[in-house]
Structure 1
């Protein structure tokens, strides 16, 4: 062990533990570089880091550029990759730090769970009475923001295991030496692994990547979550009584189901996705059941089986005589164990599709598990009944045989084209006035026999609906029943899906919940009008009766912020949710609002717990559904402790929302309505003035790596809507790559632009400060802007924007940056950004020098690739241009790892 490798010890500050982990991993990385004959690279990283640090402290601003400009293309590529490895190692140390804080309670970053559960518990019976209707529903998506390859993630997981081993005080010098050697080996692998994908991932690759979250984390974290809630709410010692906490968590996924703009997601892909889900969950349930069974060694003499269990075992003995005989012979006189081992065998058969022994549905499995639980309880073994066996029951209730509910998403325009093709085959003209009524009639009563799909795209839409029905038949109705309609603008967009489903499956059973997605500012404002018209339809009323008047409505953060700016979008979303709550109350509808939040600050990112508590009164009502995506998935679900803590944050916030203490703060929206109106109006106009400036979209494309994102092969969905190379329009850019690009050029425009003008227009700083103190939504808006500004770098942003060749646009962005920074600081009554958020400030400061170093490298690559006069560097040699193109992609990949919430 060298002097560069400080050991950690119990009792040290967690910040010290984090510093020690980073120092150790950095020293090992430097050793790997030296052993590879690249010792000078470690020195170069240190020199550049020191230069960027001095630049941050008002030192020589040009020093980083001089260092970078002296590099040839090979050196630049090696430096970019080394910095990327450094970021991954830093993230690993920080994830471990957060996990250590959650599980050990030693973190100086006090977990939200520690602060919130006492507030929840203080509500007493009021909370307990709401548990039966509680739903916490994260939905994972495959948007292209996770730049990390699966090979890189796997190497980091192996390093994390060895770092834990190295720091375990119970291990002696030999174990520590072993762990150190293994870390060197894995860091060497990481150093030699290309961070760039050679081919784009296919949709099923994205599905398999997501499975690691369930396999390694969520399957174990969910029972721990339920125990944490049980413990927080009191009412007796957990495990010594029947649990009062139901399986309230639900998990959804768009991975393998979201075909909006992704031609590679087909009906067959969705079917394969469900098969992958079922394989993983059935294997986990079988292994868990066998594990619990091996522990139930109580004998029939002191823990006799109930009559019902004995009868069930008798049936098992004739159902599969050989299997049962082997089980009974291995553990005679242990009936509870026999039953669970037989359950495990049936789960294996279900996974293998051995129909004679397979379960037909999760209900049959749960009946068997509860049979064993009841028998143990009747025999007096309460702990055996409500211990690990209860965990198994919770897992079966939560995950079923489908693991996560696959949600289908498609653009309303695709359905419109399909329905146009089909309606053209009907006798008589279809007028605009009769169209909605006709579609409703087709959805309820069916289509004429002669109507058939003509084009492949229409066949694909119908096949998707058929596959949904088939999957429900095989894996249960929960497995895939939601159909999200992007860019919903009319009631017709919703009933069209029902009409198409009726043609696709006829009278066959299909649970189809059509979910409208309102995304743009205009669509959000018109949401309740669309729902009013939709609610009057016969097909809607029939469906509502089947679903106990449960309605789900999705609101989008990505396109609304891109459409009208971050401040206007935030305030518009609040107003829309308020209107939706009133609409649901008028029509006695039980509403679930599905929040399409991204990980980035420009897409609704930020602390989810605080965001939930800032929602309008009545909009949560014990149900919260939200998207989780990109690098945010792995940041929040990297290990069991982190996943449990995040789910506890969600759960505690949902239980606190709509309670008197929280609702007493939210009516401040009425008191500050004039402030909100002024900020919304001015910020929107300021944002629109910028993005509608002629040539603005071209400036963004030229000054950022937006055009090159497709070459990173981040996801299976294309990054651009069009292939225009000039005269681009804002609509050409998808919301996620749009935000990703702004983060790369260190401007973070989608997180703050327009807010400064909006605050300045109010003109009363005392009023703004009061709004910040008293109105949670306004406070959240200001805090997110503060964080976004803190992650920006004004000087680098100016240099990037200069590549666009439009000084007027650069000046507009920088002027609004300065105004927003000034007004946000004044509203917060602070001298510096993040002055009262030391942990976040430390996290950003930890990465800033290295991110700035990558940004300087990225700037140089972009200058060479964009500046057609730079012949001295790139010449006309296409190979040299290709090499600098690779350097650019390496910097994008590395900056994504450093910035983290980029999309």
Structure 2
């Protein structure tokens, strides 16, 4: 093909971008940041870089739009023609572009949310907690609906699973750009201010370009703890009480903030960061202790600052707002304990009793943080008691706005976060426990592993004593395969502290991960509750029990279709068993960010759960890029929490439970046929001779292990001859990088073909929430695949049989998803997502072509070339940014 003229190239790019139906404000942001990046490439890149980036960009857009082999070959030829040094720069340029586009999309989401909130009647009310409460009231009555609202619980658990491909320095730079983009919105009417803001953006984009995109070393577990703390400091500490306030505003109207709130705090944070040691030798008992200390430092500092701010504003005179007797008594106690400070505060606030008290409470919070035993609070309940004395005194004195305004938000923060911030959960593999218990019972010298495991139980006891029992009480057992796997934890806890020690209070949580374990789960639970320690703990907690379900390993085990059906069946059986036993069940969903690991919209997934499996409580893991995408911006975090909590409340509505129950029964034969057919198809691929080594060759799976994503190793063992030792994250990540996304869809086409009745399948899609969620998620996964690119990866493997099997299933699945959903192309019912995928795809193609040239070179070489290896890793980071998920 002939080289395009500049005019032709501009025309191709312009027509492509014009066809994306981007909102005008968003289009303006993309153009502005894109032009600033172009200027940076001209000024800071090597000679000709900008022109080469534009050549490849134009070629991939042309190949994407006309889909001819000649156009694709031309784009691939351009990528192959670059020197390694130039390909390195081009990959970095496209990666920077994706960071900017991601930022613009997030900014547009925030813009839309703010516009909705500014309207008298918010357009997003249909899936808010307030709307869910109104709907539920209509079904079960207001009293019952209020009881359910006040027992609502949403429990996200942050993990350090290595799925965030970008460096923290890159994330920080992007956050600074986000602030500048906000300022630019406010400066559009002032030409001088807009120019100043753009100049600062140019400086920041230049910094982004010059910042090394890859980490030089893996982060330590403590680094991972501090990264999560940034989300708490910047967003969650203030966002969570704002969610409660929004609900109370909607339910109480103008009276909100002037009388006791209807809503009770329903968010609880959990964390595996610094506690998850399954397969991670770097998470030690010492790390767990440090993680809890760092989290406590952050939350206590936040509470101290909030109390100081509130105290300084409570300038209510005693004449207009007289103190209650309880407040006077509290002042006396605080003055006796902190005499000098009380005297100084009283001098500055002589007739402001409420102000004096709250300022002294801030000092007590500070003393708790610095471990000043004379002043420190013993636990958050004592702080709450003091705050409520102040609140009650204000209300009794006729100042309800001060009682239930900012002071109420501080109370909500203490109730939600305590002195520990997030409930630190421990996770360990059942095989480790069995090995350590065998050593302990043998009575000889203990190995380092055994000493470490026993020390952990002593650390848990210490954390509970220092920060309260909520700080660290859940112990998750990976690969639970018997009741003994759970009982072993209690036996080890007793052995660790000895006869005279304090045994930590533990809720031992089974994690059922494989297909076989999910099926065995009800029997294991029925057995374990007969064990003495479990019976005792059930009695102490009002018969509360938590059970964790693994989405990742079950999907890698039997494929995404059979895994989803097995998870539904396991939940239904466990929920029915718990109901019979009078147990308050909480199912803990081990969902990843990627669709192959249970990812996708959480609210639709919640509404598709079996009857009684939610009951107003939803707990799930949040990890990697998902944490920052959902909780990194305050407006988005508030919206996300509101949506998921609303779905959690709505899941137990009689109409929703009836719909799920009746649909599951009506389409049981469909589920059975899909399960059998999809598993057979999946096994035909993954159980084929030589599959594991072929998979490692046709994807960058081995090279992904070189990325310094997280402290946790990518594999449990050293070999790729068996998939059992490969973690689910690199399994999903590798298929995503190869633009195949196999972990998210493989087997669904065969499953639907086995049913065959298109009309019945369309009816099932309309009526059966589980199938609708599964098909919609597969549609999203397929939209990010590219058969042309995928074929290039599959050709690396010299196994035409396996390559054809994948491509045939891809085409079959795509065809059936479009037919079942009734559209003409993928994502027809999701125009915003469809637009985002189409807008990104040709640019991701450019990075994929660079990755392919590096991968071919590495596969052909006897020893890895460090330059090609670096180029491959740069492209991996860029593709992850472009597709916006990894594992």
1:463 and 2:471 correspond: no
1:673 and 2:673 correspond: no
- Does structure 2 conserve the Cα–Cα contact (< 8 Å) formed by 1:336 and 1:372? yes
2:678 pairs with 675, 683, 698, which one?
683
| 1:860 Cα deviation from its structure 2 partner | 0.4
2:173 pairs with 131, 155, 164, which one?
155
> What is residue 393 of structure 1 aligned with on the other side?
411
Q: After the TM superposition, which parts of structure 1 deviate over 6 Å for at least 4 consecutive aligned residues?
A: none
1:224 and 2:242 correspond: yes
How far does the alpha carbon of each residue in 1:743-795 deviate from its partner, in whole angstroms, 9 at most, with x for none?
00000001110111010000111110010000001000100111111110011
1:585 and 2:598 correspond: no
Change (3 A) 1:637 1:111: farther
How far does the alpha carbon of each residue in 1:360-384 deviate from its partner, in whole angstroms, 9 at most, with x for none?
1111111111111011001000100
- Does structure 2 conserve the Cα–Cα contact (< 8 Å) formed by 1:102 and 1:111? no
1:418 and 2:441 correspond: no
CA distance in 2, matches of 1:463, 1:787: 45
| 1:317 Cα deviation from its structure 2 partner | 1.7
1:85 and 2:96 correspond: yes
| 1:533 Cα deviation from its structure 2 partner | 1.2
2:30 pairs with 16, 22, 28, which one?
22
How far does the alpha carbon of each residue in 1:299-328 deviate from its partner, in whole angstroms, 9 at most, with x for none?
111011111111111222221111112212
| 1:331 Cα deviation from its structure 2 partner | 2.1
| 1:689 Cα deviation from its structure 2 partner | 1.2
Change (3 A) 1:268 1:453: farther
Alignment of 1:530-545 (within 5 A): 530-545=524-539
> What is residue 810 of structure 2 aligned with on the other side?
817
- Does structure 1 conserve the Cα–Cα contact (< 8 Å) formed by 2:590 and 2:620? yes
Change (3 A) 1:530 1:115: closer
CA distance in 2, matches of 1:795, 1:887: 22
Q: Which moved more, 1:124-133 or 1:212-221?
A: 124-133
3-state SS of the aligned residue for 2:72? coil
Alignment of 1:324-363 (within 5 A): 324-363=342-381
- Does structure 2 conserve the Cα–Cα contact (< 8 Å) formed by 1:14 and 1:107? no
How far does the alpha carbon of each residue in 1:193-235 deviate from its partner, in whole angstroms, 9 at most, with x for none?
0110011100000000000110000001011110122233347
Gaps in structure 2 of 5+ consecutive residues: 1-20
- Does structure 1 conserve the Cα–Cα contact (< 8 Å) formed by 2:91 and 2:847? yes
> What is residue 732 of structure 1 aligned with on the other side?
725
1:74 pairs with 62, 72, 85, which one?
85
CA distance in 2, matches of 1:121, 1:591: 25
| 1:843 Cα deviation from its structure 2 partner | 0.8
- Does structure 2 conserve the Cα–Cα contact (< 8 Å) formed by 1:528 and 1:583? yes
> What is residue 103 of structure 1 aligned with on the other side?
114
3-state SS of the aligned residue for 1:62? helix
CA distance in 2, matches of 1:702, 1:19: 40
- Does structure 2 conserve the Cα–Cα contact (< 8 Å) formed by 1:679 and 1:761? yes
1:884 pairs with 848, 855, 868, which one?
868
- Does structure 1 conserve the Cα–Cα contact (< 8 Å) formed by 2:630 and 2:637? yes
CA distance in 2, matches of 1:296, 1:178: 39
1:790 and 2:808 correspond: no
- Does structure 2 conserve the Cα–Cα contact (< 8 Å) formed by 1:861 and 1:885? yes
CA distance in 2, matches of 1:744, 1:318: 65
| 1:140 Cα deviation from its structure 2 partner | 0.5
- Does structure 2 conserve the Cα–Cα contact (< 8 Å) formed by 1:597 and 1:627? yes
> What is residue 54 of structure 2 aligned with on the other side?
46
3-state SS of the aligned residue for 1:123? helix
1:485 and 2:477 correspond: yes
1:854 and 2:847 correspond: yes
| 1:163 Cα deviation from its structure 2 partner | 1.3
2:505 pairs with 504, 511, 519, which one?
511
CA distance in 2, matches of 1:736, 1:170: 43
Alignment of 1:255-334 (within 5 A): 255-334=273-352
- Does structure 1 conserve the Cα–Cα contact (< 8 Å) formed by 2:379 and 2:467? yes
1:893 pairs with 877, 880, 885, which one?
877
1:766 pairs with 745, 750, 759, which one?
759
- Does structure 2 conserve the Cα–Cα contact (< 8 Å) formed by 1:612 and 1:657? yes
| 1:115 Cα deviation from its structure 2 partner | 4.1
Q: Which moved more, 1:854-863 or 1:286-295?
A: 286-295
CA distance in 1, matches of 2:356, 2:474: 39
CA distance in 1, matches of 2:82, 2:112: 41
- Does structure 1 conserve the Cα–Cα contact (< 8 Å) formed by 2:543 and 2:582? yes
- Does structure 2 conserve the Cα–Cα contact (< 8 Å) formed by 1:601 and 1:788? yes
CA distance in 1, matches of 2:347, 2:53: 65
> What is residue 131 of structure 2 aligned with on the other side?
118
1:494 pairs with 468, 483, 486, which one?
486
- Does structure 2 conserve the Cα–Cα contact (< 8 Å) formed by 1:613 and 1:776? yes
Q: Which moved more, 1:196-205 or 1:164-173?
A: 164-173
How far does the alpha carbon of each residue in 1:133-161 deviate from its partner, in whole angstroms, 9 at most, with x for none?
21110001111110111111111111111
Give TM-score, length-normalised by structure 2: 0.94
- Does structure 2 conserve the Cα–Cα contact (< 8 Å) formed by 1:98 and 1:107? no
CA distance in 1, matches of 2:497, 2:454: 8
Q: Which moved more, 1:501-510 or 1:827-836?
A: 501-510
CA distance in 2, matches of 1:722, 1:540: 33
- Does structure 1 conserve the Cα–Cα contact (< 8 Å) formed by 2:132 and 2:647? no
CA distance in 2, matches of 1:14, 1:96: 13
CA distance in 2, matches of 1:113, 1:267: 45
1:571 and 2:565 correspond: yes
Gaps in structure 1 of 5+ consecutive residues: 1-12, 426-451, 870-875
3-state SS of the aligned residue for 1:887? helix
Alignment of 1:202-241 (within 5 A): 202-234=220-252, 237-241=255-259
> What is residue 805 of structure 1 aligned with on the other side?
798
| 1:238 Cα deviation from its structure 2 partner | 1.1
- Does structure 1 conserve the Cα–Cα contact (< 8 Å) formed by 2:127 and 2:647? no
CA distance in 1, matches of 2:838, 2:22: 17
CA distance in 2, matches of 1:607, 1:357: 46
CA distance in 2, matches of 1:52, 1:201: 35
- Does structure 1 conserve the Cα–Cα contact (< 8 Å) formed by 2:165 and 2:886? no
| 1:45 Cα deviation from its structure 2 partner | 2.2
CA distance in 2, matches of 1:481, 1:539: 14
| 1:132 Cα deviation from its structure 2 partner | 2.8
> What is residue 15 of structure 2 aligned with on the other side?
none
Give TM-score, length-normalised by structure 1: 0.93
| 1:111 Cα deviation from its structure 2 partner | 7.0
- Does structure 2 conserve the Cα–Cα contact (< 8 Å) formed by 1:14 and 1:101? no
> What is residue 636 of structure 2 aligned with on the other side?
642
1:699 and 2:694 correspond: yes
CA distance in 2, matches of 1:235, 1:495: 50
How far does the alpha carbon of each residue in 1:801-820 deviate from its partner, in whole angstroms, 9 at most, with x for none?
11122111101000110111
CA distance in 1, matches of 2:736, 2:707: 16
- Does structure 2 conserve the Cα–Cα contact (< 8 Å) formed by 1:113 and 1:645? no
Alignment of 1:621-660 (within 5 A): 621-660=615-654
CA distance in 2, matches of 1:219, 1:357: 24
3-state SS of the aligned residue for 1:788? helix
- Does structure 1 conserve the Cα–Cα contact (< 8 Å) formed by 2:271 and 2:424? yes
3-state SS of the aligned residue for 1:592? strand
CA RMSD of aligned residues (A): 1.8
1:382 and 2:404 correspond: no
CA distance in 1, matches of 2:45, 2:883: 29
How far does the alpha carbon of each residue in 1:822-869 deviate from its partner, in whole angstroms, 9 at most, with x for none?
111111122211112100001111211111110000000000000239
CA distance in 2, matches of 1:526, 1:633: 32
